[in-house]
Every structure is written in structure tokens, then in C-alpha cells.
Structure 1
Amino acid sequence: MASEQSAAVRAMYERWTVDRLNGRPMDPESWGDLTAEPRGVDYVETDEPGTPAMWLLPHGAAADRVLMCVHGGGYVAGSMYTHRKLYGHLAKAVGARALLFRYPFAPEHVHPAQVDAVTDVYRWLLGSFEARHIAFAGDSAGGGLTITTQLNARAAGLPVPAAVMAISPWVDLELTGRTWSTNAETDGYFYRDFVDGLVELYLGPDGSRRDPLANPLHADLTGLAPLFVQVGSHETLLDDSGMLVDRLKNAGVEVRLDVFEEQVHTFQMAAGRAPEADDAIARFASWARPRLGLV
């Protein structure tokens, strides 16, 4: 059974659903309250990447290895403040510094503004770090951006990173997965009608749900970086992960998929509190360290 601590993630989503259905404003900044503060991690804000950003600096971490972390939030919410603790835990476990940053939100900015902004940050990082020493990490919409940013970077002649860690990546903007219906009773928040509205905000009136830089299930995925996907068995986006992994395998990309039983979307946000989240972070770290050349 899921731990009491991990159940807090679903409880938060249920509160958000009640607020949404009753016309009350949500407080996405409370998302970060799920995560315990990692000890031994310093946070330094900067504008050097060309956008507000935050370095996550675990004590004793390798200075020449970096995680580029892309927070989730449906392309409309989330921030480096909501996610700093989650990615602080990941950076500490890997033993590398990490960079979180702001990217533009819909509906004020529609696709491809988001993937272009993340690609610009990656280009900036390549000015100081070798690609083989950079790993991407992202959750939900940010998990999708870890894939589309590689496609965008490849088109611009940039190298792919050493590895990618994706938490519950949202990639299928056509919403074709069976788990939209089969997991509707266990998810708590990410219902099809709500997510369909997010797609419309993200793409704008002229966007296509089959645009490869928005929906990588329609892209040529050959040559992308090794990918480790984690997803919960109770979430409606479960099939997004399965479809992405299948297409990457068919493209010859090294890929790993771990499905965590009875867990919901981005349950890793309970890092430092829930044993399932801590286990997930540890699995990411043990997988990523050798790919970054860390012993």
C-alpha cells in the first residue's frame, strides 16, 4: 500500500480539484510544501542564463557536472521556488549542481516559446559545461520539454546531453491514452477535460497537437540521449510514459521505465517525507551518476 506520506500528494490534487470546480483560485506555490528541505544544499539566484534562475548547490558536489531541471505545471504554473527542494534532493543524490529557471507560460506565450526558452538555457550551459557532463531532468510538462528540447537543440546543431530523467512526462497532446479513462478514479486532478483545456492554452488557436516540437510522439527520436522515465500506476498520464518509451525503443534509444505502484502524478514531490519518493530519487541518482562520469 502507498505510504501515508505519499498519500499527501493525491490529497493536495483533490483539494485543487475542489477549488477548481468551485471557482476558487488555486495556490500552485503550495505545491512545494509537499517536499522536505534537503540539508546541505545552497540556493543562489541569478539572471545569467538570460532568464531568472536558481543554482542548487549540494555541498561537496562536482562543480563540472550539472542537471538542467525543467519544472512542471501544465505550461501555465509552477516555478523554481515550488520545485527547488525536489531538484535539490535529486542534485544532492546525484552529486552534481543543478539549474532551475523561469520559462514563459501560456496563454500569454504559446508554443514554441517554451521549448525555445529551454533550448536557450541549454545553449548557455554548453558555454560552460561539456554536453557529456549535462543531464536533463523534468516533471510533467517539464518532462515533455526534456524531450522536445533535445529535438530543438538537434535541429540547431547542438549536441544531446548525457542523460535525461523524466518524471511523469506529459507528451501526448492528442490525449489518446487509455489511462485517461481507466485511471480517472485514482488520479485526483488530471482529468481529461481539464488537461484538454491546458493543451488549447499551450498551443494557441493556430497550434497543432501533432507538432513534433510539442508532441514528440510524432517526432524522429533517433539519436536522443538515454532516458529514465518514472511514473505512477494510478495517474491518468501513465500511458504517456508507455507510448514515449515504446517510440524511443523503436528509435534505438536506451530507455528505462519504472512504474511505481499506487502512486500518482509527480509523487516525487514528497521527497524527504515519503519513502516512495526517496526511493525514486535514489534510483534516478544511481542511474545518472555513471552516465555523467561520476563514480
Structure 2
Amino acid sequence: MKNTFKTVVMLALLQLANTNVKAQAIPDSTMQKIDEFRVFYETLGKVYPPDSTVSINETVIAGVKSYWLNKELLNKKNLIVYLHGGVYTYGNFNTYHAMLSHLAKSFHAPILYIEYSLSPEHPYPTANNEIFNVYQELQRKFKGSEITLMGDSAGGGLAIALVGEVQEAKVPMPASLVLISPWIDLKCINDSYESKKALDPILSKDFLYNHALMYSSNSIKEADPSELKFKKFPPVFLLVGTDEVLNDDSKNFYAFIKPIQKNSKLKEYDGQKHVWLFSHIDSVKSRESLNDIKEFILASNK
């Protein structure tokens, strides 16, 4: 609860006044707020300690700084690629180290965290291109391995966008996707922005839309994962809290993708806020989520 209150205060201070600025012309005052929030966002990754038994190895893949967790398990022929959230603007490995270490321990699998470039300094499609290049390198280096894409919030949108690029380039699809509280519709027009507004202390429509404009350089339709069309799609598991404004992002994407991929799964977690595992890895609902994800990955990668 204390962590949530701190987030609410910082988000209130961060409100970006001008939603029509070009990404390459962000005012200094706005960049100062962004830099301050980046520092604060990093502290959120310290609300619980990392699992000290999980190995960490920094690396560079396709020119992009990345981090392996449980690298010694790569011989198992399955790996997870993690794409972090932060509205395309915040987050680094220090922010996600603790949560990822517990995921790696729970799944007993190697996880590659990609430290993609952030907006507004590096707007769309910079991060998308970096992630695609890393994915191609992994396909070359670990032929025959089952790759699961996992992402939270904006990272979920990036995972969907990567599948779109993979489809277009005709390279092998990932084995499965796991999306936690994904932000998919950058237009921010879903009903849950209003119906869940009073329940969500973390995100708001204005906050998300302002960052969508910065990330997309005001060309939201081009950058929007919800605008993509798919002929095929990997098995996907969407996890979302009942108490978050992004609730309909998961529901709407599930309704869209289920006819294309019958092994799609959607689960709502009662009373949970945005990316609840990030705040409370040992809660009952977080442990339930970890077990659900493990079962889904095992079933999808058979």
C-alpha cells in the first residue's frame, strides 16, 4: 500500500502539460520530470529483495545491452525473453532485477531481459527494431529452442508488435506469449478507462495517452499494437487485474485473437492492480499467477 501511495504522488507530479509536442522537441521542463520519474521508478524495484541464488550475466546481443538470468540453464532448450513495462519511457534492469530473479527461480528457466531504448529520446520504432534484431540473433544462436515472449504493460504491446514483425519477415514464431497487464491499445479508448477509474490508483487515461504520443511521435496508429492484423499467432496467456484501467486491453485482444489461436487464455485476478507481481511477489495472487504461467508455458512448449 505504501508503494502504491508513492506511485500516485509521483504520477501526479509528473503530469505532462503538452500532449502535442513532437518527440524530438520535448521541452526541457518535461524531460526534467521524466528524468526524475525514471529515478523514482527504479526505486520501485527495491520493494522486495531479489533471489540471490539466481545468476546474472550482462551481455550485448545485436548491439543491444541485455541481461541473462539463469544463463547456465540454456542447455534446456527453452528460454524466456522479457520485455519490461514503463509506458515506453521508464525502467531498466535495476528496476526489474528483483521480480525477474523470482520469475527465473520459479520457472527454473533462463530469462533474457532486453534493455531497449526508451522514448522520448528514442521514439518508435527504435525499441521495436532493437527487440526484433535481438530475437533474430536468438533464433540463429539457439536453433531448436522454444522461445517464450513475456512482457508487462508496454512490454506486452512490444511483444505483440514483435509477433507482427516476425510474421512479416517470415522468421520462426515464438513458442508462446505471456502478457501481464498488457497495454495494447495506444489510442486509450477502451471502456475500462472509465469503469475501472475509481479502482486503479496507478494509471490513468491522460497519463497513458501522453506517453503514447511521445513514443509514437504523434503517429499513434502506426505504432499501435492493436492496429496489427494476424494470419496466425502463437499460444498466448493474458493475465490482468480486475482493478486496472487496462482491463479491457486484455479482454478485447483475447476476443480478437481467440479465433486465430485456439490456445489463447485470459485470466482476471480478483482485486489486483496493475502488474501486481511487481509490487508483491509473495502475495497469494502473485503465487497463483506464477503457477498459472508455469503451467501455460509447459503446455504450450510441448
TM-score of the alignment, normalized to the shorter chain, above 0.5? yes
Structure 1 Cα separation of the partners of residues 74 and 49 of structure 2: 20
- Retained in 1: the 8 A contact 2:234–2:261? no
Give, in angstroms, the shift of residue 126 of structure 1: 0.6
Q: Which has the higher contact order (CA 8 A, sep 6+)?
A: 1
Structure 2 Cα separation of the partners of residues 52 and 157 of structure 1: 25
User: 1:59-101 CA distances to partner (integer Å, 9 max, x unpaired)?
Assistant: 7675422101001110101112211222222222222101002
Unpaired runs of 5+ in structure 1?
Answer: 1-6
* Structure 1 residues 68 and 200: alpha-carbon distance in aligned structure 2, compared to 1, 3 A threshold: same
1:175 aligns with 2:188: yes
Structure 2 Cα separation of the partners of residues 104 and 135 of structure 1: 21
Q: Which of 5, 14, 31 matches 1:11?
A: 5
Q: Which of 240, 244, 247 matches 2:256?
A: 247
- Retained in 1: the 8 A contact 2:61–2:134? no
1:291 aligns with 2:266: no
State the superposition RMSD in angstroms: 2.2
Q: Which of 272, 286, 291 matches 1:282?
A: 291
SS of the equivalent of 2:258 reads helix
How many percent identity over aligned positions?
Answer: 24
SS of the equivalent of 1:258 reads strand
Give, in angstroms, the shift of residue 38 of structure 1: 2.2
Structure 2 Cα separation of the partners of residues 197 and 104 of structure 1: 18
Q: Which of 24, 34, 46 matches 2:59?
A: 46
Structure 2 Cα separation of the partners of residues 150 and 277 of structure 1: 27
SS of the equivalent of 2:10 reads helix
User: 1:204 maps to which residue?
Assistant: 217
TM-score (norm 1): 0.88
Give, in angstroms, the shift of residue 195 of structure 1: 1.0
1:100 aligns with 2:113: yes
* Structure 1 residues 128 and 61: alpha-carbon distance in aligned structure 2, compared to 1, 3 A threshold: closer
1:20 aligns with 2:14: yes
Deviates more, 1:283-292 or 1:175-184: 283-292
What amino acid maps onto 1:44 in structure 2?
A: N
Equivalent residues in 2 for 1:224-239, closer than 5 Å: 224-239=233-248
* Structure 1 residues 84 and 19: alpha-carbon distance in aligned structure 2, compared to 1, 3 A threshold: same
Number of aligned residue pairs: give it: 283
User: 1:90-131 CA distances to partner (integer Å, 9 max, x unpaired)?
Assistant: 222222101002111111111111211111110111122236
- Retained in 2: the 8 A contact 1:248–1:254? no
Give, in angstroms, the shift of residue 231 of structure 1: 0.7
User: 1:177-234 CA distances to partner (integer Å, 9 max, x unpaired)?
Assistant: 11111111111121111111001101104x2x333xx323222223111000111111
User: 1:157 maps to which residue?
Assistant: 170
Unpaired runs of 5+ in structure 2?
Answer: 17-31
1:91 aligns with 2:85: no
User: 2:42 maps to which residue?
Assistant: 29
User: 1:3 maps to which residue?
Assistant: none
